Amino acid sequence: MTMKEKNEPGERPYCPECGVPQMISLAHSWLSDGSIVLAIDPATRMAFVETENFDPLFRGISELIGVPVEPLVAQASKRATRSYMRRLIPRSARELVRDGEVAVEAIMDTILPIMHFMGYGSPISYTFRYKRDADDFMVVRYTEPYSCP
């Protein structure tokens, strides 16, 4: 098990045209219709949405149907994030991690700032186990997440 504490981020380069951090602007393309797509996989689209009302909405739905929806929302978010990351991180990089040639920390040190810039919250630490079996896991601690579920 490994624990990586957040290092204070240095000044990151920003796109001079749009002001977005380059690690985001270089990985995505903004199309003329307003769509945001992954540069290496244009079929993968993104959306930036206002999320302030999500938690009250989830609570309201749970009250209406009498069943908590947060576990379903968390599972859907987990699947969507996994799908996006599989497209964002090239297969060759995943293979290097799988083969032990690149440490998981190297990938996480790249992904965590991206997650912050994309509004997931401010990641402060992570713990993981990676042995390529059913017990593998990763836990990321955040401050100010956009939505807990």
In Å, how far are 38, 90, 100, 114, 126 from 26, measured between CA atoms?
A: 9, 14, 27, 12, 25
Within a 13 Å sphere around the CA of 51, how many CA atoms are in the beta-carbon half? 13
| Band of pLDDT at residue 68, cut at 50, 70 and 90 | very high
* pLDDT for residue 107: 84
* pLDDT for residue 3: 38
**In terms of pTM, does the model score above 0.85?**
no
pLDDT tens across 86-129, in order?
888 888 988 999 999 999 888 888 788 777 777 778 888 889 99
CA 46/CA 59 separation, integer angstroms = 25
Ordered by start, the domain boundaries in the chain are: 2-143
Shortest CA distance to 112 belongs to which of 4, 20, 31, 2?
4
* pLDDT for residue 69: 94
Average pLDDT of span 17-46: 80
DSSP annotation of 12 reads P
